Amino acid sequence: MRLGLLVTGVTYRHPGVLAKIVATLDVLSGGRAQLGVGAAWYEREHLGLGVPFPPLAERFERLEETLRICRQMWSEDDGPFVGRHYQLAETLCSPRPLSSPRLPILIGGVGEKKTLRLVARRPTGSKAGWARSPRCWPSSNRRPEPGRRVSDRPWGPVRRTRRNHPTDRAGGP
C-alpha cells in the first residue's frame, strides 16, 4: 500500500517543500510514499484560496520543473537548480526517501497532447485520469494506436489509473 495525496496541483506548494514533505512521509511510512502531482485545473478553488492560477502552458512548465526538482532532491545531487520558474540554491533533502529504486510519481491528468507525453518521458510514471462523466473515461485513457509512440519510451511501462468520485455522476464540483 502506498501513501500520499492522489494528485496535488503543482501550483499549491513550492516544489522544494513538496519534495521534502513526500520524502519525510516515505521515511515515516517505511518506504511506502508516492507523489501524486498534476498541472492543476480547478480555477474556482485557486481563486477561492487566493492562489495564483497561471495559464495552462505555464502550469505544465512548472510541473516539468517540479518533477526535475523532486528527482534531484531525492538523489545524491544537492547542487543548485535553476529553472525558468524555480531557483534553488541547494537541493537539500534530509532524510532521503527510502523507496527503492526511486520514489514513485503519479502524474495526474487526462490529455494526450501534454500529460501522456510528459508521463512517457519520466523514468517511472503513471497517468491518473478522470473525466466529468464515466462515459468520457475511455477517450481520456485510450492506448495509442499500434505502432504509435508518444516518446522514445514504449507505452508498456506507463501505468494508468482511474479515480472514482461521487461527483463524477453529478457532473463534478
Q: Is 29 or 3 the better-scoring residue by pLDDT?
A: 29
How confident is the model at residue 133, as a pLDDT? 46
Do residues 108 and 37 lie in contact, with contact meaning Cβ atoms separated by under 8 Å?
Answer: yes
Q: Is residue 1 part of a domain?
A: no
For residue 31, the model assigns a pLDDT of 94
Structural domain boundaries, residue 98: 8-170
Three cell numbers written together for 134: 464515466
Rounded to two decimals, what is the model's pTM?
Answer: 0.79
Check: CB of residue 23 under 8 Å from CB of residue 73: yes
Q: Is residue 41 part of a domain?
A: yes
Residue with cell 520543473: 65
* Alpha helices, DSSP H, located in 29-141: 43-49, 56-73, 117-121, 137-140
Q: Is the pLDDT of residue 172 over 80?
A: no
Read off the CATH number of the domain in which 164 is found.
Answer: 3.20.20.30
For residue 153, the model assigns a pLDDT of: 55
Residue with cell 528527482: 71
Domain presence at residue 3: no
The verdict on residue 47 lying in a domain is: yes
Counted domains in the chain: 1
Indicate whether 154 belongs to any domain: yes
Q: So what's the pLDDT on residue 142?
A: 54
